[in-house]
Amino acid sequence: MMEPCRLAASELACRRGDRVLFSSLSLTLEAGDALQVTGANGTGKSSLIRILAGLMRAFAGAVERTGSTAIVDERLALDEHLPLGRALAFWQKLDGCTTPDAALATLQLDSLLEVPVRFLSTGQRKRAALARLLNGGRRIWLLDEPLNGLDDQARSAVEALLALHCGGGGIALVASHQPIALPGEQSLHLPDFAG
Amino acid sequence: MNVFATLLRRDLAALLPGSARGNSLLPLLFFLAVAMLYPFAVGPEPQLLAATGGGVIWVAALLAAILPLDRLLAPDVESGFFDQWALRGIAEEVVVAVRLLAHWLSFGPFIIIAAFPASALVGIDGATLHVVLLGLLAGTPGLAAIGIIIASVTVGLRGGGAALSGLLMIPLAVPLLIFGAGSLSTGGESGLALTGAISLALVAIAPFAGGAAIRAAREG
């Protein structure tokens, strides 16, 4: 039995310094929904994700989140000096994941497990973060630019994973300035809510 | 419990002397270096050394405790570890409490062991050494707790954090020094008891102060 999940925000506003990045933003995602958030750099995509994750307080409005949540952003949260396999093992232990191999194979990381994290390329680092996401078994995925630095093959792997996740009753919210194939093809253009 | 053990293992791997992140032997060597330089600076007069040596060991221990501060918490905040822990429902207080234990384990016991050669260098022995060792045992947890609090408060600072945390630590450590090093001149147990009491209070406060500081830094 999957735990139920839902992500709703009403009348959100975000202020950074003196600037209001967006306001009156409402959204509701039910189990199985996916949403792409688009907008140029600096329109508040990352801030929206952090607000939805509960890591940042909204200037106004409320977020209602049911279900376990995972975030993938530019911050890797892996020990740079450790080999990738051991850096990921730390999170596998915390998440109680017993079958990490499937995720590693899907993201083609199996050959990199002995490489220290600091030597990984941008795309490889992104794939490592996504491997942690898969092993975490969370219901709500908040992804900030998950396609950055990925080659075509990895990109289609990510799209397939997102389809699988939403097909299994999960929720995905993806902030990306580049096109990404999501189930349902919903999207939200953040500059529409500017100021 | 499992979370606790997993966090502690990672912290110890990063902080213990000779660990992968390196540098952790430096506070210890620094501690010994201060004890070694002191007789050169004040001269070899045995009575003077024996009278002041215990205090020098205390100051050296305080300075050695300052050295690792800038990489205690800041790297984990910058690389997003605390965000990931928060999303897993692991409270900042728990992480900071585990980090406090690991921080103390990575310098406290080693300083106490190094106090033997250090006390030989400054020429103290017998009863005085006994008081120094007990005082360090009672005081170093407090030094570690002050260090953790300061490391968490300075977490959001870009650059300059290392020097500032050292500067902030010194006044806060004065009570520990007064009672810890003061117990040397009185030779009494009351000084040691007060050192232990201050340490316990600081250790009890540190996880909550640290957790609140890290959450506040994230909001910004």
* Complete DSSP assignment for A44-107: SHHHHHHHHHTSS--SEEEEEEES-EEEE-S---S-TTSBHHHHHHHHHHHHT-S--HHHHHHT
A56: nearest CB among B3, B6, B219: B219
Q: Do B81 and A81 touch (CB under 8 A)?
A: no
pLDDT band, very low/low/confident/very high, at B54 (cuts 50, 70, 90): confident
Question: How confident is the model at residue B23, as a pLDDT?
Answer: 61
Q: Which whole number is the average pLDDT over B79-84?
A: 94
Question: How confident is the model at residue B166, as a pLDDT?
Answer: 85
A75: nearest CB among B10, B21, B83: B83
* pLDDT over 60 (residue B107): yes
A55: nearest CB among B2, B21, B86: B86
Residues A49-61: tens digit of each pLDDT: 999 999 999 999 9
Residue in A with minimal Cα distance to B3: A94
Q: Which whole number is the average pLDDT over B135-159?
A: 91
Mutation to test the A interface, candidates B12, B23, B84, B219, most A Cβ within 10 Å = B84
* pLDDT over 60 (residue B189): yes
Q: Which whole number is the average pLDDT over B160-166?
A: 79
Residues A108-149: tens digit of each pLDDT: 898 999 999 999 999 999 999 999 998 888 999 999 999 988
B219: nearest CB among A57, A75, A136: A57
As a whole number of angstroms, the distance between CA B113 and CA B86 comes to 37
Question: How confident is the model at residue B8, as a pLDDT?
Answer: 94
| Cβ contacts of B3 on chain A, cutoff 8 Å | 94
* pLDDT over 60 (residue A9): yes
Question: How confident is the model at residue B123, as a pLDDT?
Answer: 84
Question: For residue A83, what is the DSSP state?
Answer: B
pLDDT band, very low/low/confident/very high, at B21 (cuts 50, 70, 90): low
Mutation to test the B interface, candidates A14, A55, A74, most B Cβ within 10 Å = A55
As a whole number of angstroms, the distance between CA A102 and CA A105 comes to 5
Question: How confident is the model at residue A97, as a pLDDT?
Answer: 80
Question: How confident is the model at residue A52, as a pLDDT?
Answer: 94
Q: Do B79 and A76 touch (CB under 8 A)?
A: yes
Q: Do A78 and B79 touch (CB under 8 A)?
A: yes
Q: Which residue has the higher pLDDT, B185 or A50?
A: A50
Alpha-carbon distance A16 to nearest alpha carbon in chain B (angstroms): 9
Q: Do A56 and B218 touch (CB under 8 A)?
A: yes
Q: Which whole number is the average pLDDT over B55-78?
A: 88
* pLDDT over 90 (residue B139): yes
pLDDT band, very low/low/confident/very high, at B7 (cuts 50, 70, 90): very high
Q: Which residue has the higher pLDDT, B219 or A45?
A: A45
How far from chain centre, in Å, is Cα B74?
16
Return the number of CB contacts < 8 Å for A and B: 48
CB atoms within 10 A of CB B73: 28
A107 neighbors A131 (Cβ within 8 angstroms): yes
* pLDDT over 90 (residue A71): yes
Alpha-carbon distance B171 to nearest alpha carbon in chain A (angstroms): 33
Residue in B with minimal Cα distance to A133: B84
* pLDDT over 80 (residue B171): yes
Q: Which residue has the higher pLDDT, A100 or A184?
A: A184
As a whole number of angstroms, the distance between CA A100 and CA A107 comes to 11
Q: Do A75 and B80 touch (CB under 8 A)?
A: yes
What is this model's ipTM?
Answer: 0.92
Q: Which whole number is the average pLDDT over B141-149?
A: 95
pLDDT band, very low/low/confident/very high, at B214 (cuts 50, 70, 90): very high
| Cβ contacts of B6 on chain A, cutoff 8 Å | 90, 93-94
As a whole number of angstroms, the distance between CA B111 and CA B140 comes to 9
A181 φ, ψ to 5°?
A: -80, 115
* pLDDT over 90 (residue B71): no
Question: How confident is the model at residue B220, as a pLDDT?
Answer: 64
Q: Which whole number is the average pLDDT over B149-161?
A: 83
3-state secondary structure of B196: helix
| Cβ contacts of B21 on chain A, cutoff 8 Å | 81
Residue with token string 């600091």 = A118
Q: Do B3 and A94 touch (CB under 8 A)?
A: yes
Question: How confident is the model at residue B19, as a pLDDT?
Answer: 67
Question: How confident is the model at residue B50, as a pLDDT?
Answer: 83
A21 φ, ψ to 5°?
A: -75, -45
| Cβ contacts of B87 on chain A, cutoff 8 Å | 53-55, 69-71, 138
Q: Which residue has the higher pLDDT, B115 or B185?
A: B115
- The mean pLDDT value of chain A amounts to 90
Alpha-carbon distance A40 to nearest alpha carbon in chain B (angstroms): 22
Lowest pLDDT segment from A12-26, B17-31, B70-84, B176-190: B17-31
| Cβ contacts of A46 on chain B, cutoff 8 Å | none
pTM: 0.91
Residue with token string 């024996």 = B50
Residue in A with minimal Cα distance to B217: A56
- The mean pLDDT value of chain B amounts to 88
